[in-house]
Amino acid sequence: MRDVRVLKTALVQQRFYGSKEATNAKTVESIAEAAKKGAALVVLQELHQTEYFCQCEDTRFFDYAAEFEKDIEYWSRVAAEHRVVLVTSLFEERAPGLYHNTAVVFESDGSVAGRYRKMHIPDDPGFYEKFYFTPGDLGFEPVDTSVGRLGVLVCWDQWYPEAARIMTLKGAEVLIYPTAIGWLECPADRRDELCEKENTPEERQKMLEAWIAVQRGHAVANGVPVLTVNRVGFEKDPSGQLGGIRFWGHSFAFSPQGEMLAVAEEEETILRVDLDLKAGAEVRKIWPFLRDRRIDAYEDLRQRYCGR
Amino acid sequence: MRDVRVLKTALVQQRFYGSKEATNAKTVESIAEAAKKGAALVVLQELHQTEYFCQCEDTRFFDYAAEFEKDIEYWSRVAAEHRVVLVTSLFEERAPGLYHNTAVVFESDGSVAGRYRKMHIPDDPGFYEKFYFTPGDLGFEPVDTSVGRLGVLVCWDQWYPEAARIMTLKGAEVLIYPTAIGWLECPADRRDELCEKENTPEERQKMLEAWIAVQRGHAVANGVPVLTVNRVGFEKDPSGQLGGIRFWGHSFAFSPQGEMLAVAEEEETILRVDLDLKAGAEVRKIWPFLRDRRIDAYEDLRQRYCGR
């Protein structure tokens, strides 16, 4: 019999409850429930404490980041109380005028196991993250915890095979993506043809499927499981300029061979998944992709573009 | 209206007909049919002229490679006669004792547009390619043709996001994978539990789906269409040691957003696909992944493994 090492995991997919206090209260309730059912690892969605404030560019939201150290104390207590390894996603003030989108990982005794500062920062209508977050400078470093070596990345990183690969080369036993992604709604006063055309059910389905597909690819290419936790629910644009975002939920887990182990719908969910952290080692014996990488021929991966 | 540039493509998925002559005759017939129906680009499967001889290690198969120059003349005539850009997959003798698995791309006037020597070489039971092929030394260079810049890769390369990315950075407008992949059958005298266990319909389906998934990931991550042509049919192991391979067909095409545009079943097929080579440019406006690559932080991609 081959080795098996089961990691009981819970992904908390939830909506924003109008305030940080109410939202955190709901999250803690979900963590408690997940822990009660045996979860050893709980993963929260991106920027789970507040609304997804990057829908507009407004300096008042930097105040959220001022509470970063307090937030760490708070989630430390939660992790310790429920005896779970906890992946959080916080807004970090590093210095005045210098902010990161930072995942902080807590050990089950409440200590900080490590942190990851989001490396790839998006910027498109409704997702103005380049205004708020300086790209991370800690590189792609997995976090060692009592439940395994966690390759924690954040949202936009999920589109980059480079990030998944480096985490794998550094021994990550699972890739974890807290996420906030959804469909931009057309503003009430701009239900014009172009906006509607981009928002047909077919176009929305394509986007959702592409998002799942690229991460499934990471699982297969690297022989590692993937856990992704997304927001759900509609959130309006605080500035009133855009039509708001309908976060599409669909948190999921893939096995190291790309089997979908679990997937949520578009509603609040505590998605429980039992991962076998030894399964990847078996898959890699059949498909030993790491053996044959042409590291002598990958120099161009460090180019912005080649030839012009 | 946005730009559209339709490339009429045909993927020739076929079985081995017992001899090179009979197989080539069938292939040429398919090319003629595809051309008649308007295909401007025809892609053939990996090592399409012969049986997939890598099922065993036998020096007599090197004789196939001695005909490389003659093969080029042959397919040059075929491309010119049918006025198609043609992607072939040949066994190249470069010098005595030095062989490559080489895709040769012909312009529609019969001239050689370019070649690609397979960079990632597999080796597992029934696929003993490291015995036959020296890993390519031409790098990941797309081939310019009258129908577009083609990112031609071969089979095992399809598991490597690095190869797809470099081709993209070099301006490939489509990724193309001639392939020979299938399920290893249990030998008649070894229908033991282990072999059967690895060959359940569920395990086979998982393999097939992982193979499709990783390439769909390349399409999405890079905003390029993907064309993959696989063999079909059962071929016995010439040495009689293994149970033979059932090539699983399922040639496919993905759009630059990861939509499956076409897929074959497990039977001989000329899979016709109309690709819009301008669609990728539109997708990349919505999802500008190339904009945000952290080329300052990708150094570890050139490591075999990190930390030990």
pLDDT for position B194:
65
pLDDT band at A193 (very low <50, low <70, confident <90, very high): low
Q: How many CB pairs lie under 8 A apart between chains A and B?
A: 173
- Closest-CA residue in chain B for A211? B220
**Of A51, A107, A155, A185, which is the active-site residue?**
A155
pLDDT band at A199 (very low <50, low <70, confident <90, very high): confident
pLDDT for position B294:
98
What letter does residue A45 receive in the DSSP assignment? P
Vertex A260: Cα angle to A258 and A261 (nearest 5): 120
Closest CA of chain A from B108, distance in Å: 26
pLDDT for position A250:
98
> Is residue B307, in this structure, part of any structural domain at all?
no
CATH of the domain at B95: 3.60.110.10
The DSSP code sequence of A121-188 is: ---BTTB-HHHH-PPPSS-S--EEETTEEEEE--GGGGG-HHHHHHHHHTT-SEEEEEE--EEEPPPG
Say if residue B55 is exposed, middle or buried (CB neighbours under 10 Å; 0-12, 13-18, 19+): buried
Distances (CA, A) of B292 to A115, A120, A136, B279, B296: 21, 6, 12, 20, 11
Residue B35: phi, psi to the nearest 5? Answer: -65, -40
> Is residue B43, in this structure, part of any structural domain at all?
yes
- Closest-CA residue in chain A for B288? A122
Closest CA of chain B from A264, distance in Å: 20
- H-helix or E-strand containing A47? none
**How many CB atoms sit inside 10 A of residue B41's CB?**
26
> Is residue B1, in this structure, part of any structural domain at all?
no
What letter does residue A118 receive in the DSSP assignment? -
Helix axes of B201-222 and A201-222: crossing angle, nearest 10 degrees: 110
pLDDT for position A1:
64
pLDDT for position B197:
73
Work out the average pLDDT over B217-233.
Answer: 98
pLDDT band at B192 (very low <50, low <70, confident <90, very high): low
The b-or-e profile of B242-259 (16+ CB within 10 A means b, else e) is: bbbbbbbbbbbbbbbbbb
pLDDT band at A197 (very low <50, low <70, confident <90, very high): confident
Residue A187 CA to residue A95 CA, distance in Å, equals: 36
pLDDT band at B190 (very low <50, low <70, confident <90, very high): low
> Is residue B285, in this structure, part of any structural domain at all?
yes
pLDDT for position B165:
98
Which residues in chain B are closer than 8 Å to A219, comparing Cβ atoms? 213
The residue among B100, B183, B220, B224 with the most chain A CBs within 10 A of its CB, best to mutate, is B220
Q: Which token pair is A231?
A: 């927001």
pLDDT for position B269:
98
Lowest-pLDDT choice from A120-134, A181-195, B130-144, B170-184:
A181-195
Active site residue A46: yes
The residue among A302, A303, A308 with the most chain B CBs within 10 A of its CB, best to mutate, is A302
Do residue B301 and residue A162 have CB atoms under 8 angstroms apart? yes
pLDDT for position B3:
85
> Is residue A308, in this structure, part of any structural domain at all?
no
Closest-CA residue to A156 (of A180, A184, A126): A180
pLDDT for position A194:
65
Length of chain A: 308
Work out the average pLDDT over A219-231.
Answer: 98
> Is residue A307, in this structure, part of any structural domain at all?
no
Do residue A289 and residue B160 have CB atoms under 8 angstroms apart? yes
Say if residue A252 is exposed, middle or buried (CB neighbours under 10 Å; 0-12, 13-18, 19+): buried
B261 pLDDT exceeds 70? yes
User: How high is the mean pLDDT of chain B?
Assistant: 96
> What is the three-class DSSP state of A82?
helix
Do residue B288 and residue A135 have CB atoms under 8 angstroms apart? no
Residue B185: phi, psi to the nearest 5? Answer: -80, 155
Q: Which token pair is A3?
A: 């080795």
pLDDT for position B1:
65
Work out the average pLDDT over A97-114.
Answer: 98
pLDDT for position B191:
61
Edge-to-edge strands, sheet with B232-235 = B182-184, B245-248, B232-235
pLDDT for position A191:
61
Residue A198 CA to residue B2 CA, distance in Å, equals: 14
**How many CB atoms sit inside 10 A of residue B25's CB?**
12
Domains identified in chain A, total number? 1
> Is residue B137, in this structure, part of any structural domain at all?
yes
pLDDT for position A19:
98
Work out the average pLDDT over A121-140.
Answer: 97
- Closest-CA residue in chain A for B139? A297
Residue B223 CA to residue B208 CA, distance in Å, equals: 23
Q: Give B222's Cβ-side CA count (13 Å radius).
A: 32
Residue A260 CA to residue B205 CA, distance in Å, equals: 13
Give percent of chain A above pLDDT 90: 94
The residue to which tokens 């998925």 are assigned:
B13
* Span B9-54, pLDDT tens digits: 999 999 999 999 999 999 999 999 999 999 999 999 999 999 999 9
Closest CA of chain A from B219, distance in Å: 8
Of A165, A214, A299, Cβ closest to residue B220: A214
Which residues in chain A are closer than 8 Å to B259, comparing Cβ atoms? 206, 209
Closest-CA residue to B229 (of B256, B253, B207): B253
**Of B54, B92, B155, B185, which is the active-site residue?**
B155
Residue B176 CA to residue B226 CA, distance in Å, equals: 6
Are A254 and A215 contacting, i.e. CB atoms less than 8 angstroms apart?
A: yes
The DSSP code sequence of chain B is: -----EEEEEEEE----SSHHHHHHHHHHHHHHHHHTT-SEEEEPTTTTS--GGGS--GGGHHHHTTHHHHHHHHHHHHHHHT-EEEEEEEEEEETTEEEEEEEEE-TTS-EEEEEE--S---BTTB-HHHH-PPPSS-S--EEETTEEEEE--GGGGG-HHHHHHHHHTT-SEEEEEE--EEEPPPGGG--HHHHHHTSHHHHHHHHHHHHHHHHHHHHHHT--EEEEE-EEEE--TTSSS--EEEE---EEE-TT--EEEE--SS-EEEEEEEETTHHHHHHHHS-GGGG--GGG-GGGG-SSS--
Do residue B258 and residue A119 have CB atoms under 8 angstroms apart? no
Do residue B297 and residue A160 have CB atoms under 8 angstroms apart? no
> Is residue A1, in this structure, part of any structural domain at all?
no
Are A163 and A116 contacting, i.e. CB atoms less than 8 angstroms apart?
A: no
Residue A295 CA to residue A292 CA, distance in Å, equals: 9
Active site residue B155: yes
Segments forming the whole domain that contains residue B52: 6-302
The residue to which tokens 């205004």 are assigned:
A131
Are B213 and A216 contacting, i.e. CB atoms less than 8 angstroms apart?
A: yes
B300's CB contacts (< 8 A; 6+ apart) are A139, A140, A166, A169, A170, B306
* Span B66-97, pLDDT tens digits: 999 999 999 999 999 999 999 999 999 999 99
Active site residue A235: no
Give percent of chain A above pLDDT 70: 98
Closest-CA residue to A23 (of A94, A75, A66): A75
Closest CA of chain B from A201, distance in Å: 14
Are A13 and A44 contacting, i.e. CB atoms less than 8 angstroms apart?
A: no
